[in-house]
Amino acid sequence: MKILVPVKRVVDYNVKVRVKSDGTGVETAGVKMSMNPFDEIGVEEAVRLKEKGVATEIIAVSLGVAACAETIRTALAMGADRGILVESDADLQPLAVAKLLKAIADKEQPGLIILGKQAIDDDMSATGQMLAALLGWSQGTFASELTVDGGNLTVKREVDGGMETIVLTLPSIVTTDLRLNEPRYASLPNIMKARKKPIETVKPEELGVDVTPRLTVVSVAEPPKRQAGVKVGSVAELVAKLKTEAKVI
């Protein structure tokens, strides 16, 4: 079984995000970029399934600028077998990404697609669900545990009330939650080997997909700064401030 793992290039989670001076977006020039952490979990789970003999090939897919090839190289160093880069300078929004991934899935015919539940740059949490709808496949979102048994996939998923276990029929879409696994660090030998693994580059037009943005960003702003706290001398003073200043009681 082939496993397709989309990996997104985002601002590194250790970097303090800065809003552009014109308020049109987040500053990415000269900023450290890395693989979306939820996608790292997806790559790790695919590699573990291959190590168990469930998967025969892992294909890492990234969509965006040419620099996304480095994100694919990271996935290859973790254990993916080959990569596909859909190169585009356009602002690729969830629906366009889902359509591009559908085109790749139609071509590669994977039995399982593992995506991060969301990207830390836009927090949309939409691509996996859109892709499942376009393909007509079963889906297990927010997965914290998964088991493949023949043609079925058992997914333990996190819901508001606790945990839910569902059984899906392959082919399926799975989106990863934080508790699914702990991604491995790529060793130096594997990083060197990753340089020799193939990455195919295609354009959205070759896949027959229109990537014109459907959403318009009106403005981006930093959250308001928190006001400094104050010390009070008594419970009576605290209650008075809660009534007159905070107006919460």
What is the reported pLDDT for 245? 85
Which residues on adjacent β-strands are paired with residue 84? 61, 200
Residue 166 resides in a domain: yes
User: Domains in the chain: how many in total?
Assistant: 1
Residue 64 resides in a domain: yes
What is the reported pLDDT for 24? 82
**Inter-helix orientation angle 94-108/127-135, to 10°:** 50
What is the reported pLDDT for 224? 85
What is the reported pLDDT for 160? 86
Residue 123 resides in a domain: yes
What is the reported pLDDT for 225? 85
Which domain range does residue 171 map to? 2-244
Number of CB atoms found within 10 A of residue 86's CB? 26
CATH of the domain at 100: 3.40.50.620
Residue 249 resides in a domain: no
What is the reported pLDDT for 221? 87
Residue 198 resides in a domain: yes
What is the reported pLDDT for 145? 94
* Tokens found for residue 228: 């400094």
Average pLDDT across each block of 10 residues of the chain; the chain has 249 residues. List them in order.
96 89 85 95 97 95 95 96 95 94 96 95 93 96 93 92 93 94 92 94 95 88 84 91 85
Tally the C-alpha atoms within 13 A of residue 64's C-alpha that lie toward its C-beta: 18
The pTM (predicted TM-score) of the whole model is 0.86
Residue 122 resides in a domain: yes
* Tokens found for residue 125: 């949490």
